[in-house]
Amino acid sequence: MILIHPPVAKPCEPPAGVAKLSGALSSHGINHTILDANIEALLYIVSSTHLQADKQYDKWTARSLRNISGNHASIRNGRIFHNIDRYKRTVIDLNHAVELWADKGATPGIANYRHKYLSPLRSDDLLLAAEHPEENPYYPYFSKRLPTLVERNTAQVVGFSLNYLSQALCTFAMAGFLKQHFPGLSIVLGGGLVTSWMKNPDWANPFGGLIDQLVAGPGERKLLAILGADDIKEEHFRPDYGLLPLDDYLAPGRILPYSASSGCYWNKCSFCPEKAENNPYVPIPVDTAIDDLNELIRLTGPFLVHLLDNAISSPLLKRLAGNAGGVPWYGFARISRLLTDIEFCRGLKKSGCVMLKLGLESGDQGVLDKMHKGIDLETASLALKTLKKAGIATYVYLIFGTPEETLPAARKTLEFVARHKDEIGFLNVALFNMPICGPEASRFETSSFYEGDLSLYTDFSHPGGWNRKEVRLFLENEFKKHRAVSGILMKDPPIFTSNHAAFFVM
Ligand code: SF4
């Protein structure tokens, strides 16, 4: 079988989803190969895009095209990571050159894919992309690559790992191409986005005839069953990165992604899609996770480990903190008393922890309580100061426009950030999207602002009149303009955001 990671997703690390599936297939002796079409398509564009002597360009475009290979190389050799301004210029220029690749309404980027007429939120548009793969800007790449791969591997099943909206139109274009040229192939579609679609209570499969099997949730056991493996005894399969091009990714060293759990152990935050989708928390036992990490580090020699858990559990954090001299790592942790203990944080630092991502969400205690966030601001403040003292950078996540928030509450968030400007390394500022299948959607007057049958979010009428337009105005005119906030935001790596931030603090 062939496992495909389709374009377009951030191309800075090997895809963890297909590595997990590969581990499961290998453990059952199932012959397979992996195609990271995302990184291959990017390399294809970089190697085949040139400044054309007979064309007129504006200054920025000419510079971006002239330097496309050099900019690609600079992100990989790491030299620009010493200077955020050089980094920004390099990444933005590379993205601009990649965007110029397409016409016919499509705009592919390094980490995004937009289309003027087709929306990944409409099943009709996805089916149209499948019917006309030749319209996809990556067609010159995949129309050569896919047939060779299918024939060489005499594959009968092809699985796509579809996790982001930015991958959807290209996934369907590739699936459509395969069905047209190899009608006997069985197409399996799984991944985070497919899971979200299928968790919607109104879900009705619109893709019959194109997609043979849709898989929701962790796919290892389900894929093994589809492939006819019986007697699946294992509870856990170690990911296998052996079939991925580990040295091709857009980062100054190998990144090893690893999840020690799926779902979230807290699972209470009212705004959270994990909770709305009722995804169960399934942790890997701490000993097993540590064994996996040690073995994967030995096999892949990473420069940085990226822990993908929605929130790294306290038992795993404690084990990591007791393990000095590890490879640098970063990941999401919940703000807790544990992070106010300087000795513990120093232990984390010694274990290799270079950055923690923290979901603070709001600087107003009333909002936090109503959202069931389970953190208090005193602890958050102390945790930020303690982590700073221990030498661990923080990437703080905020969310504005929740039903619980008002303008005065949003201003308290601004005050909190301003008070902690020296402790907060990076900021992610998000506008609240109400999950369509969450409990809150039934409590408020809702209306669809996303135009498709596959929308995951819904608009709602804010009980305090704090609607999207007002929230946006506050963010643009007040929050982001505050000197403390703009100083932090200026440090944020564009496009790659937290995926590259750790390289600036190592
Ligand atoms: S801690 Fe994060 S992942 Fe867990 S429920 Fe809250 S928002 Fe969701």
Residue 183 in this model has a pLDDT that exceeds 80: yes
Pick from 62-66, 263-267, 403-407, 449-453: least confident:
449-453
pLDDT band at 442 (very low <50, low <70, confident <90, very high): low
Compute the average pLDDT of residues 76-91: 95
Asked whether residue 355 carries a pLDDT value surpassing 90, the answer given is: yes
CA dihedral 395, 399, 400, 401 (to 10 degrees): 170
Least confident interval from 101-105, 194-198, 331-335: 101-105
336 Cβ closer than 6 Å to some ligand 1 atom: no
Which two tokens mark 26?
């290998």
Would you state the structure tokens that stand for residue 226, as one six-digit string? Answer: 């589809």
SS3 content of the chain, % helix, strand, coil (to 5): 45, 15, 40
Write down the pLDDT at residue 50.
Answer: 82
Q: Check pLDDT > 70 for residue 139.
A: yes
300 lines ligand 1 (CB under 6 A): no
Considering only 216-230, 272-286, 450-464, 488-502, which range has the smallest mean pLDDT? 450-464
The whole-number pLDDT of residue 491 equals 96
Ligand 1 pocket check for 399: Cβ under 6 Å: no
In DSSP terms, 258 is beta-bridged to: 307
- For residue 78, pLDDT over 80 is answered with yes
374 Cα–ligand 1 center, Å? 10
Ligand 1 contacts CB of residue 310 (under 6 A): yes
Contact assessment for residue 457 and residue 435, using Cβ atoms and an 8 Å cutoff: yes
pLDDT value of residue 357: 98
Residue 470's pLDDT is what? 95
pLDDT band at 302 (very low <50, low <70, confident <90, very high): very high
Residue 450: which pLDDT band, with cuts at 50, 70 and 90?
A: low
From CA 427, how far away is CA 493, in angstroms rounded? Answer: 11
pLDDT score recorded for residue 323: 87
Could you give the angle at the alpha carbon of 161 between the alpha carbons of 23 and 194, nearest 5°? 125
Question: Over 60: is that where the pLDDT of 432 sits?
Answer: yes
With a 6 A CB cut-off, is 15 part of the ligand 1 pocket?
no
Most confident segment among 44-58, 72-86, 92-106: 72-86
* Whether pLDDT at 14 is above 70: yes
Q: Which amino acid is at 216?
A: A
Contact call for residues 251 and 503 (beta carbons, < 8 A): yes
178 band by pLDDT with thresholds 50, 70 and 90: very high
d(CA 433, CA 330): 26
Domain 2-44+116-226 classification at class level = alpha beta
Residue 353 has pLDDT above 70, yes or no: yes
pTM over 0.85: yes
C-alpha 334 to ligand 1 mean position (Å): 8
Same fold, 2-44+116-226 and 255-504: no
Averaged over 183-199, what is the pLDDT? Answer: 96
Residue partners of 102: CB distance under 8 A and separation at least 6: 108, 137
Minimum mean pLDDT range among 10-14, 58-62, 92-96, 325-329: 325-329
Listed residue (79, 73, 114) closest to 93, CA to CA: 73
- Lowest pLDDT segment from 170-174, 358-362, 386-390, 465-469: 465-469
- Looking at this protein, which amino acid is placed at residue 434? M
By most ligand atoms within 8 Å of CB, the mutation choice from 196, 261, 272, 307 for ligand 1 is 272
Q: What is the mean pLDDT of the chain?
A: 94
Ligand 1 atom at shortest distance from the alpha carbon of 373: 6
Question: Whose alpha carbon is nearest atom 8 of ligand 1?
Answer: 272
Alpha helices by DSSP H, 309-438: 314-321, 342-350, 365-370, 377-390, 407-419
Position in ligand 1 atom list of the atom nearest CA 275 = 5
CB 477, CB 57: distance < 8 Å: no
Domain segments of the chain: what residues?
Answer: 2-44+116-226, 50-100, 255-504
- 31: how many CB neighbours lie within 10 A of its CB? 10
- Sheet of 353-361: strand order equals 255-258, 304-307, 329-333, 353-361, 393-400, 426-431
Q: What is the pLDDT of residue 277?
A: 86
Q: What is the mean pLDDT of residues 440-450?
A: 65
Query: If you take atom 7 of ligand 1, which residue's CA is the nearest one?
Result: 272
Q: Is 94 in the pocket of ligand 1 (CB under 6 A)?
A: no
pLDDT range class, residue 53, cuts 50, 70, 90: confident
Q: Tell me what the mean pLDDT of segment 104-110 comes to.
A: 89
Q: pLDDT at residue 206 above 60?
A: yes
| Burial track 444-462 (b if 16+ CB lie within 10 A, e otherwise) | eebeeebeebbbbbbbbeb
For residues 21 and 223, the answer to whether their CB atoms sit within 8 Å is yes
Atom of ligand 1 nearest to the CA of 265: 4
**In this model, does residue 451 exceed pLDDT 90?**
no
Q: Tell me which CATH homologous superfamily contains domain 255-504.
A: tm_1862 like domain (3.80.30.20)
